[in-house]
Amino acid sequence: MRGEAPRGETQRPRTAPDPRSVRILIRGGGDLATGVGWRLARCGFSVVMTEIERPTVLRRSVAFAEAIYEGETIVEGIRARRIPPAAIEAVLSTGEIPILVDPELATLPRLSPRILIDARMLKGRLDDRPTRLEDAPFVVGLGPGFDAGTDVHVVVETQRGHHLGRVLYHGSASPDTGRPGVIAGESERRVLRAGRDGIFRTDRRIGTTVQAGEVIGDVEGMPVRAQISGIVRGLLHTGLPVRRRMKLGDIDPRGDPAYCFTISDKSLAVAGGVLEAVLHSLFGERSPALPTPPRPFPSE
């Protein structure tokens, strides 16, 4: 019958905007930002990402930031391509994600996004161009360092646990604990850290197996050793300058190489929260914001 949706498909309400007309700018291209960008792109939104000139991403095999180094990269079927600002529209028309070097948001007036998502995970650290409430009609912040209603419209919880992915319409996300999340019983020992300032060098590859005590690389001659056995899940680019105690990589004790090349459960949970926030911003008059649970959350 004329006007009906094809069998098996749901007819889109006439008031629903075409997702391709909704431009979303994501600051950051790390694994969490990539999970968000991937999910939004899968839902048909026009996603643009920005990064710094030399990203210090660890989970490079599932990070669109890798396109800054390689020119392009594919994560679970979606391609991101490093481009100059003049090529944004052409790349968007192909269904790919354009990513450009723009830490200062100089292209913000040109992009004019309807939604801006700060997924850099600065965790409150100061930067030269902080995200502001007036940067877009709807602004989302991931993790600690943002206050909903002050510098962003909503915050999405990024700490592992019961509240992961929750959308907060008031207040802030859980503070940074400084401790890596627990995977298969391992937390701090699974992280590779620099023992001194200097240049990090390694010839290892993500997805390879290592044993406890094995040398993964070095910083100015000081060895970087794995503290546990497992799979190299994340590893900084060789040749980058690092600071003492800076994260250089991480070892996954579960030992499954597939986990290195697919978006993590945490990233997808956070992406689900962002998608909820985005849809609420577009259809909010029909779905009022739920009250945010009181702080502090009860202990897990």
The pLDDT assigned to 179 comes to 83
Number of domains in the chain: 2
pLDDT at 176: 85
Domain annotation covers residue 300: no
In three state form, how does the secondary structure of 39-66 look? HHHHCCCEEEEEECCCCCCCCHHHCCCH
pLDDT on residue 230? 97
For the record, the structure tokens of 49 come out as 């990402």
Three-class SS state of 152: strand
* Residue 124 falls inside a structural domain: yes
Check whether residue 162 and residue 272 sit in a common domain: yes
226 close to 216: Cβ distance less than 8 angstroms: yes
Q: Does residue 259 lie in a domain region?
A: no
Quick check: is 293 in a domain?
A: no
The domain in which residue 241 lies consists of 188-253
pLDDT < 50 positions in the chain? 1-14, 296, 298-300
Please list the residues that pair with 73 across neighbouring strands: 80
Task: Based on the fold, state whether residues 148 and 196 are members of the same structural domain.
Answer: no
Q: Centre a 10 Å sphere on the Cβ of residue 279 and count the other Cβ atoms it contains.
A: 14
Residues 150 and 195 in one domain: no
**Is 187 within 8 Å of 179 (Cβ atoms)?**
yes
- 192 belongs to a structural domain: yes
pLDDT score recorded for residue 287: 54
Cα end-to-end span (Å), the chain: 53
Based on the domain organization, do 170 and 195 belong to the same domain?
no
Check whether residue 106 and residue 195 sit in a common domain. Answer: no
CATH number of the domain to which 211 belongs:
2.40.50.100
Both 205 and 277 in one domain: the answer is: no
Tokens of residue 165, six digits: 């992915």
Same-domain status, 249 and 270: no
Query: Can you say how many angstroms the Cα of residue 236 is from the centroid of all Cα atoms in its chain?
Result: 16
Q: Which residue has the tokens 């998608």?
A: 275
DSSP structure string for 161-227: STTTT-EESSB-PPPP-SSPPPBTTBSGGGEEE-SSSEEEE----TT-EE-TT-EEEEETTEEEE-S
Q: How far apart are CA 17 and CA 22, in angstroms?
A: 8
Task: Mark which of 231, 253, 275 sits at the end of a domain.
Answer: 253
Residues 229, 276 share a domain: no
Angle subtended by helix axes 31-42 and 265-283, to nearest 10: 50
Q: Going by DSSP bridges, is the β-strand pair 247-252/191-193 parallel, antiparallel, or unpaired?
A: antiparallel
Same domain, 128 and 215: no
Q: What is the pLDDT of residue 298?
A: 45
pLDDT at 6: 41
Question: Same domain, yes or no, for 123 and 94?
Answer: yes
The reply to whether 104 and 196 lie within a common domain is: no
Residue 8 lies in a domain: no
Q: Is the peptide bond before 296 cis (omega within 30 degrees of 0)?
A: yes
CATH assignment of the domain containing 126: 3.40.50
Assess if residue 179 is contained within a domain: no
Residue 63: closest CA among 98, 28, 25: 28
**SS3 readout for 213-266:** CCEEEEECCEEEECCCCEEEEEECCCCCEECCCCEEEEEECCCCHHHHCCCCHH
31 and 126 share one domain: yes
- Phi-psi category of residue 207: left, alpha or beta, with phi > 0 → left and psi -120 to 50 → alpha: left
* Residue 15, domain member (yes or no): no
